[in-house]
A = this chain, B = another copy of it.
Amino acid sequence: MSAPDRRERLAWAYLAAVAEPPCPPLISLVGRYGAVETARMIRTRTLPAGNAAAVTATQARYETDSAATDLETAHRRGARLVTPDDEEWPGWALLGLDQASTSVRGGAPLALWVRGPGSLAEAASSAVGLVGSRAATAYGEHVSTRMASGLADRGVTVLSGGAFGIDGAAHRGALAAGGLTVAILACGIDRDYPSGHARLLREIGEAGLVVSEYPPGTTAAKHRFLTRNRLVAALSAAVVVVEAGRRSGATNTAAWARKLGRPLGAVPGPITSAMSVGCHQMIADGQATLVMDADSILALIQATGHDNFVRSAPSATDDLPTDEFEVIEALPASGGLTVDEIAFSAGRPVTVVLAALARLEVKGLVDSDSGLWRLAGER
């Protein structure tokens, strides 16, 4: 690394540690003066007047310069510091955070520590956040694993927080399907938190990406989980809550998804399960859309006009015109119905139903027998 580059890196590493993220004032200073000069002014307390916020935010740490050791630690762990100057910086995904910088814990990260092969920007270009309770049920973990595998099969990155329960199941499901998964931590990238996930985080760091805006050595803390959640939402094209109790941390990530305009999905479960109450409330309140599988999540994203997502193979009936689809839906799995009965069930006029049946018969999807229509193949 050339001397100037090295100086730049050290400046970024210093700035990434000197204030508790997110720190919008610091980011705007870097935008105006560059990393090196901003770092110098903060270290020497020579910031121009009118930067009180930045002065306050850096008061506690400006004298401590762990930049060199942080870069060294990261290097040793196979991690790198990614800044807005780097190609893999997911700037577009973080735009919403700049706009939300006025809200508590809003604002884009100044830089991100990243461990793992491949580009963060690419991984985030078609990613879905799967989140939920740490105290998940077997059902929740099963669903999380299955959805993650389904998303991975469709080339979608699975983003989560690396926690026990739903998060871990999501990462595992993506890995099992040979897909890309990203764990965003609320602690330093050199920390295996939770320690029970040390092996999982290592695997994610080898096949996917482990990301944190906190410098190496930072310990996990409640407020950092809340801060981290905004990144999960920002880097995802949609957020899905798989299981959440009445007051789950997942509802905080869900709040960020809504704030950032990301479609929010929730997975239903037994109404007898306390771990699904949060999901059911979000659906009943109209805050989240009920999602059943990877395809319904992609449909949610495609409805927003997002086009980075692989369209799953349509089923024989998926792409039928509405009237034909409704007629198909009206037909029972076995046995037949009269045109009147179909018209009633489908809630369409008999004339429309007759026309649709004719087209469906040509397509070989239905056939009739003495006035009764049935699904082709049914007898």
Give A contacts to B, CB under 8 Å: 103-105, 139, 142-143, 222-223, 226, 245-247, 251-252, 255, 258-259, 267-272, 276-277, 280, 283-284, 289-293, 296, 329, 331-333, 335, 338, 340-341, 343-345, 347, 350
Residue among A142, A251, A345 with the highest chain B CB neighbour number at 10 A: A345
CB proximity of A262 to chain B, nearest CB, Å: 15
Known: A255-B347, A284-B291. 14 other contacts (CB 8 A): A103-B344, A104-B344, A105-B340, A139-B270, A223-B341, A245-B333, A255-B345, A258-B347, A259-B347, A268-B290, A269-B270, A269-B271, A271-B293, A283-B283
Q: Is the CB of B139 within 8 A of A344?
A: no
Kindly identify which residue among B105, B245, B331 contacts A344, using a CB–CB cutoff of 8 Å: B105
B247 touches A333 (CB 8 A): yes
Is there contact, CB below 8 Å, between A246 and B104?
A: no
A52 to chain B, nearest CB (A): 19
B270–A226 CB distance below 8 A: no
B267 contacts A271, CB within 8 Å? yes
- Tell whether, in the assembled complex, residue A268 and residue B283 are in contact, meaning their CB atoms are under 8 Å apart: yes
Q: How far is the CB of A183 from chain B (nearest CB, A)?
A: 23
Which 8 pairs between the two chains have the least Cβ-Cβ distance?
A268-B268, A104-B344, A104-B340, A284-B290, A271-B292, A283-B290, A247-B333, A247-B332
Q: Whole-angstrom distance between the alpha carbons of A325 and B255 in the complex?
A: 16
Contact across chains for A251 and B283 when beta carbons are under 8 A apart? no
In the complex the two chains form, what is the Cα distance from A292 to B267 in whole Å?
14
Copies of this chain assembled into the complex: 2
Taking a contact as CB atoms under 8 Å apart, the answer to whether A268 and B255 are in contact is no
Query: Given the known A-B contacts A284-B291, A347-B255, are A226 and B341 also in contact in the complex, defined by CB atoms under 8 Å?
Result: yes
CB distance from A320 to the nearest CB of B (A): 15
Q: Which of A276, A290, A340 has the most CB of B within 10 A?
A: A290
| A253 shortest CB reach to chain B, Å | 11
Q: How far is the CB of A300 from chain B (nearest CB, A)?
A: 10
Question: Which residues of chain B are near A105, meaning CB under 8 Å?
Answer: 340, 344
- Contacting residues, chain B, for A280 (C-beta < 8 A): 268, 290, 292
Residue of B nearest to A245 (CB): B333
